[in-house]
Amino acid sequence: MPAFYRVEAAFLHRWEGDVCDAVEKGGYEEPYAKYLKAGYKVALSIEAGDEGDEPQIANCVDAELFWEVVLEFFIDRASEIGQKALREGGDVLMDRFVEMYRNMALCPSWRGRYQQQLQLRHAMMIQQQQQQQIQMQQQQEHQQQQLHIQQQQQIPMQQQQQHRIQMQQQQKQMMIQKQQQRQQYIQMQQQQMMMIPKQEQMMNIQHQQQQQQQHLDGDAILQVKQELI
């Protein structure tokens, strides 16, 4: 059973007793009406009377809270009071106060309207949840599309980057090859420079051998001539 007003919330919070059992047995409206009457009288500085004689009722009354509620009753809800209650005043006005601030859930005609409102709120809540789900799905789809577009845009950039890397690698390889060729050329030059003295030495040896051979041949010829003479 919901509490419709702050005064009833305070009543349910402070009142000692089984509220649900009282509602089922029809014993809730009378003590709550006494509570409203006692609070109304306390707020307007009227003698509480019989309503204030019951400890449970008296302990529930909050003068400051009821003063705010009575102001609300006469100012914010004045159009709901009715001319008769305003003209009569007294107990008639107090009864109207009790009627306006009683728990509406106890009224059978109100329960049907309240049930319809609950069903309507439930349907609206489901519809709102469905709309939120649709919006979330749309946002996810939009994010996926944006991600796909970004990935597509990144592909040419990646290809360009790969092409640059390949070109750099090729240039590096060409430089390495040039360095290797230069080193090989230097080594060949060095080897040739080392071979020149050896070749000259070999040529000198061969020249000496040829000269020696010529001397030997000349001596042999002279010897033959001498023998013939």
Q: What is the pLDDT of residues 144-161, one digit of tens each?
A: 888 877 777 776 777 777
- Residue at a domain's end among 77, 110, 143: 110
Between CA 198 and CA 185 the distance in angstroms is 20
Closest CA to 3 of 40, 34, 32: 32
Flag whether 149 is in a domain.
no
pLDDT tens digits for range 26-47: 677 787 888 888 888 888 876 5
CB atoms within 10 A of CB 38: 23
Flag whether 45 is in a domain.
yes
Flag whether 137 is in a domain.
no
For 162, the token pair is 């790969």
Flag whether 179 is in a domain.
no
- Residue at a domain's end among 66, 88, 110: 110
- In the chain, the number of structural domains is 2
Per-residue pLDDT in tens (0 to 9) along the chain, 229 residues: 455 677 777 777 776 666 666 666 667 778 788 888 888 888 887 654 444 445 556 556 777 788 888 888 888 888 888 888 888 788 888 888 888 877 766 655 555 665 677 688 888 888 888 888 888 888 888 888 888 777 777 767 777 778 788 888 888 888 888 888 888 888 887 777 776 666 666 766 776 777 767 666 666 666 666 666 6
**Full domain range(s) for residue 204:** 193-229
Which residues have a Cβ under 8 Å from the Cβ of 50 and sit 6 or more positions away?
A: 34
Between CA 61 and CA 70 the distance in angstroms is 13
Flag whether 168 is in a domain.
no
Flag whether 172 is in a domain.
no
The pLDDT value recorded for residue 105 is 60
- Residue at a domain's end among 95, 110, 125: 110
Flag whether 128 is in a domain.
no
N-term to C-term CA, the chain: 167
The pLDDT value recorded for residue 114 is 59
